[in-house]
């Protein structure tokens, strides 16, 4: 007979997600420590911050704080367990004696406490990397920050230092690259402000081609609109060849590059590069800044995908995150080159010592002889 769902049957809407593997590692470790408190000596690198569960962290803190009981006495009574419960309960009110005994029963082998601790530390590293990636992505997309690019670069430096620290805690192994399928970068939205900046750059560069020679830090990948990137290539090609640059010559170069179509007539292209305002460097920096923020969001998405894949080991997460940040650092190098203050000569060069006065004639070949004394 077909199954008829009951009116009160669980439909899965409010179903609690299944616990992650680290949940069972935490239970097994705490059970091992409650059974054999001396096992604390095997997990000195573990701290309460490494636990995902607040209740488990409070219980671990209580175990570590209290002196270990005498093994013989601990095997006969529950006095030490009661004390642990009393110390932990103010920080985790849901704790009770039955849960402590359940943890002891759940632990497969107390002698494996160090292995359980490694699993906990590994998952903590995963969560730590994910939180840093989320913060990086949110900062890069926050329009309310006064200087989001500077903040993003500071966070990237913090991220690199975190990776260096974690690299010293986990042993490398073969197959260090994640095999996670990373989502394709989100297409950048060509907003009105972005398009205006790119158009003003093209027009200003056509009017001031002498400034374009110093703008090698800007590439076609930094543009939102591919058409604008192609026109920028046309302008820079003329500049680097030493050819004359004006709207007509830019039109000729764009024609050779296949940019003239029914959607972009010669008149349209010439109008686009004929209304300069400001300097090319200014608009180039704006475009590069937006590209930097977009790259930071892509890197954050990539690292988050790595951390969401539970099959990745800590070493794979570290290696993959470093590769992702390297993509951001490549753009950071160009951004710093673009925004570096120009060096100016000193206003007052250091004074030089005055030259000694020259003699009126050539010096004598030999020194004059001293007069003889008369007797």
Q: Are 121 and 50 in contact (CB under 8 A)?
A: yes
Which residues of 260-359 form beta strands (DSSP E)? none
pLDDT at position 373 is 42
* Predicted pLDDT of residue 341: 78
Angle at 134 between CA 48 and CA 117, to 5 degrees: 25
- From CA 167, how far away is CA 43, in angstroms rounded? 19
pLDDT for res 372:
43
58 exposure class (CB count in 10 Å sphere: 0-12, 13-18, 19+): buried
Cβ partners under 8 Å of residue 165, min gap 6: none
Burial class (CB in 10 A: 0-12, 13-18, 19+), 145: middle
Give the C-alpha separation, 11 to 68, whole Å. Answer: 47
Task: Indicate if 121-181+189-340 has the same CATH topology as 21-108.
Answer: yes
Q: Which fold has domain 21-108?
A: DNAb Helicase; Chain A (1.10.860)
Q: Given this model, what pLDDT does residue 104 score?
A: 96
Q: Helices in 66-111 by DSSP H: which ranges?
A: 71-76, 79-88, 97-106
Helix (H, G, I), strand (E, B) or coil at 130: helix
Q: Dihedral angle at the C-alpha atoms of 38, 39, 42, 47, nearest 10 degrees?
A: -100
Q: Which of 225, 245, 223 is nearest to 236 (CA)?
A: 245
pLDDT digits (tens, 9 = 90+) for 25-56: 999 999 999 999 999 999 999 999 999 999 99
Rg value, the chain, Cα? 35
- The predicted pLDDT at position 14 comes to 57
Give percent above pLDDT 90 in the chain: 79
How many angstroms separate the Cα of 319 from the Cα of each of 52, 160, 177, 298, 331? 23, 11, 6, 17, 19
Q: Which pLDDT value is given to residue 183?
A: 81
Q: Determine the straight-line distance between the first and last CA of the chain, rounded to whole angstroms.
A: 155
With residues binned 3-state (H G I as helix, E B as strand, rest as coil), the percentages for the chain, rounded to 5, are 60, 0, 40
Q: What is the mean pLDDT of each run of 10 residues along the chain (375 residues)?
A: 49 70 98 96 95 98 96 93 97 95 96 97 98 97 93 97 95 86 82 95 97 95 96 97 97 96 94 95 96 96 96 95 96 94 50 41 43 40
- Which CATH architecture is the domain 121-181+189-340 placed in? Orthogonal Bundle (1.10)
Give the pLDDT of residue 190.
82
Virtual torsion, Cα 200, 202, 203, 207, nearest 10 deg: 130
CA geometry: angle at 211 spanning 207 and 247, to 5°? Answer: 25
Rounded distance between C-alpha atoms, residue 228 and residue 194, angstroms: 11
**Where exactly are the structural domains of the chain?**
21-108, 121-181+189-340
Are 206 and 249 in contact, with CB atoms under 8 Å apart? no
Predicted pLDDT of residue 368: 42
Q: Taking a C-beta distance cutoff of 8 angstroms, is the pair 173, 315 a contact?
A: yes
**Residue 8: predicted pLDDT:** 45
């Amino acid at each position: 007979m077909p199954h008829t769902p009951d009116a009160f049957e669980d439909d899965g809407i409010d179903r609690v997600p299944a616990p992650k593997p680290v949940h069972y590692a935490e239970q097994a470790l705490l059970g091992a420590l409650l059974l054999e408190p001396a096992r604390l000596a095997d997990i000195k690198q573990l701290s309460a911050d490494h636990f995902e569960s607040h209740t488990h962290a409070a219980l671990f803190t209580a175990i570590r704080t209290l002196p270990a009981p005498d093994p013989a006495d601990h095997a006969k009574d529950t006095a030490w367990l009661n004390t642990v419960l009393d110390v932990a309960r103010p920080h985790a009110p849901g704790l009770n004696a039955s849960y402590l005994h359940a943890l002891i029963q759940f632990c497969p082998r107390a002698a494996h406490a160090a292995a359980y601790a490694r699993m906990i530390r590994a998952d903590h590293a995963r969560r730590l990397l994910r939180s840093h990636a989320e913060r990086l992505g949110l900062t890069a997309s926050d329009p309310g920050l006064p200087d989001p690019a500077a903040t993003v670069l500071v966070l990237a430096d913090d991220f690199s230092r975190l990776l260096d620290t974690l690299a010293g805690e986990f042993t490398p192994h073969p197959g260090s690259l994640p095999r996670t399928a990373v989502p394709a970068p989100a297409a950048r939205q060509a907003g009105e402000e972005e398009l205006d900046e790119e158009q003003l750059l093209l027009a200003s560069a056509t009017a001031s081609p002498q400034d374009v020679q110093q703008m090698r830090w800007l590439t076609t990948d930094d543009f939102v609109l591919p058409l604008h990137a192609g026109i920028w290539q046309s302008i820079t090609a003329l500049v680097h060849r030493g050819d004359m640059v004006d709207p007509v010559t830019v039109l000729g170069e764009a024609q050779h590059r296949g940019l003239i179509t029914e959607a972009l007539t010669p008149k349209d292209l010439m109008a686009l590069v004929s209304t300069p305002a400001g300097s090319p460097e200014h608009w180039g920096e704006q475009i590069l800044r937006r590209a930097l923020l977009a790259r930071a969001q892509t890197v954050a998405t990539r690292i988050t995908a790595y951390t969401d894949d539970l099959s990745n080991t800590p070493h794979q997460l570290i290696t993959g995150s470093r590769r992702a940040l390297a993509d951001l650092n490549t753009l950071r190098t160009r951004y710093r080159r673009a925004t570096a203050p120009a060096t100016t000569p000193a206003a007052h060069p250091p004074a030089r010592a005055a030259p000694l006065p020259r003699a009126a004639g050539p010096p004598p070949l030999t020194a004059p002889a001293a007069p003889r004394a008369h007797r």
